[in-house]
A and B are shown apart, each in its own frame.
Chain A
Amino acid sequence: MEADILNEFRAIVGTPGLITEPEQLSTYDCDGLTMFRVLPLAVLLPTSTEQVQAIVRVCHREKIPFVARGSGTGLSGGALPVAKGIVISLTRMNRILEVDLPNQRVVVEPGVINLNVTARVAPDGYFYAPDPSSQLVCSIGGNVAENSGGAHCLKYGFTTTHVLGMEVVLPDGSLVHLGGRTVDRPGYDLPGVFVGSEGTLGIATKVILRIVKKPEVIQVLLAAFNSTNEAGAAVSGIIAAGMLPAAIEMMDNLAIQAAEAAVQANYPNCGGLLLVELDGPAPEVETLMEEVADVCTKCGAWEIHVAQSDAERARVWTGRKAAFAAVGRLAPAYIVQDGVIPRTALPHVMSEIVRLSSEVGLRVANVFHAGDGNLHPLVLYDNSVPGQDKLAEKLAGDILRLCIKAGGSITGEHGVGEEKKMFMAEMYAEPDLDTMQLLRCAFDPENLSNPDKVFPRPRLCGEKPGVYEPHPLEVAGVVQRF
């Protein structure tokens, strides 16, 4: 990068806010998906909206692509740097700016850690509902980019449900406010499209969050089944009975073994483990918990246990949330997948995963957000065996195709990012993707903000989208256009 531009960047963020040494840059060469790595030209660590704006203005003027980054826990390569571009790390913008309890609003900077929002409001009995498993470290800005979910979004909704507005630096450096503290503000629902846009529409520099009151009672039930199919039948039974649990999670035997080895969650050793959390008024939770236990028993559960204390409940969840990392104990390397299927397709998709995995001879551990059909198959492999990484990648891809075929999605919460952009063309038709591009072009006509992610191939935004075809009547001079 030219020295005068670097100097300009240095003038904006100061020497401590600019990283250009290759060994320091390598910290930023990937996110949570480590198989893709690109060294950026520079990393900038702004501390204010004004600095972000000044950086983006330089990028816009010089046509330098930029990638915004939070804590770097993303699992689809969304924060992967672009060659010849810069990374804008928002970690130093980590202040909670305002807490308004009566109106249940919290205003934060993008670098605030997810769990810190809950920590701040917990003494008053509130929590911030989206709870990705990485919530100890992931940032709100990253959550906004990815529309992060978590185990409890079955009942409480995703990040998009809990974000009412944001201040955004657009890719041309201008500052806009989307949405606000109040609901239904006039105009297009731009907060709705910005959340989940994976950093391709601009950089959020302030986010207005909604917080939720903690329920009176929370109970979690563990049920052990011989197979994931039996556990899956219980999930359908619970939903069919008209219940909406706070969370329904499922783990197969391999995932259970991993979690046990890692955090000793005291899970029963079984073929399919179901974890059902109910919350609400005490008498209601009590009644419904009995019904859940009944459904589980009818579906073949041979051990049912309700966590008796907060500590036990916490341990149960630690096991589940640590499952990805724990799988590292079973194999030297693994790929985390994030497909979604209609819940009823679970038995079919599971048996297909088993078939595919035995065909290629690689093990697959399964962790599901079963209530909403979100599968996280973990494809285990040994990267010291030549070619096995490619096999694993192919298997992971085939599992995604299964999800698409079942009427589902290639990602429920991890995002498309770099990893799955080629699958977008399998999930959507060309006109669908072209239409999404219309939106990107309105925000970022020069393709500077996290370019080449999400969509299968780069597109140019001409000033006039599409070619106007004159109507025959117009050519004949019968009608006129105004």
Chain B
Amino acid sequence: MPGASGLMTQVSWPELAEIVGKEHLRAATAADAIDGVEAQMVAEPGTAEDLARALRWAHAAGVKVSPRGGGTKLGWGNPPAACDLVLSTARLNRVLEYAWADMTVIVEAGCRVADLQKTLAEHGQRLALDPLWPERATIGGILSTNDSGTLRARYGSLRDLIIGITVALPDGTLAKSGGKVVKNVAGYDLAKLFTGALGTLGVIVQAIFRLHPLPRESRSLSFSGTPESLNQLLLAIQASKLTFTGLQLRAEPGSAHLDVRFDGTAAGIQAQVKQVQQIAGSMAASDAPANAWTSHQAIWDGATPALLTKFSVLPAQFAAVSALVERSAGAQSLAWKIVVQSVGAGYARLEGNEQGLRSALPTLRDELAKMGGTLVALACPAAVKRGLDAWGPASDAQPLMVRVKQRFDPDGTLNPGRFLGGI
């Protein structure tokens, strides 16, 4: 969809080339498009300062900007109302300070998750998060999309792991919040504001995380059963004194599994495995398949066209969600699959035909809303996406969110139209 740009006349791109270096500004290709919206140029600044200057230039020139890390989740959110420039953090990829004895790390936004983890593993530590596609996803990208994985059951999500942030604002300001100590309540927690903001408030250029030790030993079990019986088991495990580091429910037509992971000392794990088997009673446990804990990533693969959604519900509602997805998919002759973490965040995949996907989404979303849950459409064919709102209905906090957006990005330079309620 070329021509979505708000620019009426030619922009002086050479000015931007001056800022980021000629060799780091190139014409965008179809591969740089976001949900079918093609940008004009791609810039890859080499420093946070240059990125801030580039952003300031774009803001002043009325150039609409979409920040990009590894580009693995670029289609999340609504298609941009306009995108002239893709601002890539690819060259901001350094681990700046790894204070292993303090268990903190300062890292640039463009650093790939797997690269960071490799560095941390040298001292037996990790960022306790297993997001999607770590080989390609960047720190800035997982932060902006608030991505997480199965470790969340024990270590929380990014909001619990990030302790400091540096962002570039559309007016060129580079601002910090937080710092490199784990405990810090000085000033507003802007790291949380930018986590999950989908690059609509500023561009994350640096983040500081608290780290955790790699587990000494680990063992995972799987149970099979009906979604109802597994949901009951999940609640029973949650209500027990077991200290699991992963607990998830997987379901697809005709089969459902519960996976639980224990990390720690060999003796501790052994005792817990025994206890979980007692809790499960007649439900037999087996060692979890090797790919159990990458199910949240595997669900992205399969036949097309498909609709991939993220849902949030309460732990006691998982079986009901499974039944709901089955019902909605069945009504449209779609294949389906879900994987949900015990904290209540999960993915549902529907695949089949575009018309079916288009019809299934509103039903699913309405029914989940009745249960107090939410549903966000993350990925689907561009044609399907244009006809729906990725985020669903806004809450009574929407006017406040709009005011936040207006303060940080008054002219709508960053990712216009991609976020909740048209932000």
Listed in ascending order, the chain A residues whose CB lies under 8 Å from chain B are 100-105, 125, 146-147, 149, 153, 157-158, 160-161, 170, 174-178, 180-190, 192-193, 195-197, 213-216, 236, 239-240, 242-244, 280-288, 340-344, 369, 372-374, 407-416, 420, 424, 427-429, 431-436, 438-443, 454, 464-466, 469-471, 473-474, 478-482
Q: Is the CB of A188 within 8 A of B401?
A: yes
CB-based closest 10 A-B pairs: A284-B268, A192-B192, A242-B213, A435-B175, A283-B267, A471-B60, A412-B183, A409-B184, A216-B241, A438-B407
Please provide the chain B residues from 87 to 105 with a CB less than 8 Å away from any CB of chain A in the complex: 99, 101-104
Is B359 part of the contact surface with A, judged by Cβ < 8 Å?
no
Q: Is the CB of B61 within 8 A of A479?
A: yes
- Residue from B61, B271, B345 in contact with A184 in the complex, judged by beta carbons closer than 8 Å: B345
Q: Is the CB of B176 within 8 A of A374?
A: no
Q: Interface majority SS on A: helix, strand, loop or mixed?
A: loop
Once bound together, how far apart are the Cα atoms of A464 and B256, in whole Å?
54
* B residues in contact with A414, CB < 8 Å: 185
Once bound together, how far apart are the Cα atoms of A175 and B180, in whole Å?
35
Q: Is the CB of A196 within 8 A of B312?
A: no
Is B290 part of the contact surface with A, judged by Cβ < 8 Å?
no
Once bound together, how far apart are the Cα atoms of A411 and B193, in whole Å?
20
B207 to chain A, nearest CB (A): 15
Please provide the chain B residues from 374 to 423 with a CB less than 8 Å away from any CB of chain A in the complex: 374, 376, 391-392, 394-401, 403-404, 406-408, 410-411, 419-421
- Residue from A412, A429, A464 in contact with B410 in the complex, judged by beta carbons closer than 8 Å: A464
Once bound together, how far apart are the Cα atoms of A247 and B399, in whole Å?
41
Once bound together, how far apart are the Cα atoms of A481 and B63, in whole Å?
9
* B residues in contact with A369, CB < 8 Å: 183
B412 to chain A, nearest CB (A): 9
Q: Is the CB of B189 within 8 A of A177?
A: no
How many residue pairs link A and B with beta carbons under 8 A? The number is 293
A52 to chain B, nearest CB (A): 16
Q: Is the CB of A411 within 8 A of B186?
A: yes
A417 to chain B, nearest CB (A): 10
Instruction: Give 24 pairs: A residue, B residue, CB < 8 Å, sorted on A.
Output: A103-B315, A177-B397, A182-B374, A189-B197, A281-B242, A281-B264, A281-B271, A282-B271, A284-B268, A342-B104, A342-B181, A344-B99, A409-B186, A410-B186, A411-B184, A431-B173, A439-B404, A442-B404, A442-B407, A471-B60, A473-B61, A478-B10, A481-B411, A482-B6
B316 to chain A, nearest CB (A): 5
Q: Is the CB of A372 within 8 A of B171?
A: no
Q: Is the CB of B344 within 8 A of A183?
A: yes
Once bound together, how far apart are the Cα atoms of A187 and B373, in whole Å?
14
Once bound together, how far apart are the Cα atoms of A431 and B268, in whole Å?
49
* A residues in contact with B279, CB < 8 Å: none
- Residue from B101, B181, B316, B372 in contact with A180 in the complex, judged by beta carbons closer than 8 Å: B372
- Residue from A157, A160, A182, A407 in contact with B179 in the complex, judged by beta carbons closer than 8 Å: A407
* B residues in contact with A187, CB < 8 Å: 391, 394-395, 397-398, 401, 419-421
Q: Is the CB of A184 within 8 A of B310?
A: yes
Q: Is the CB of A125 within 8 A of B241?
A: yes
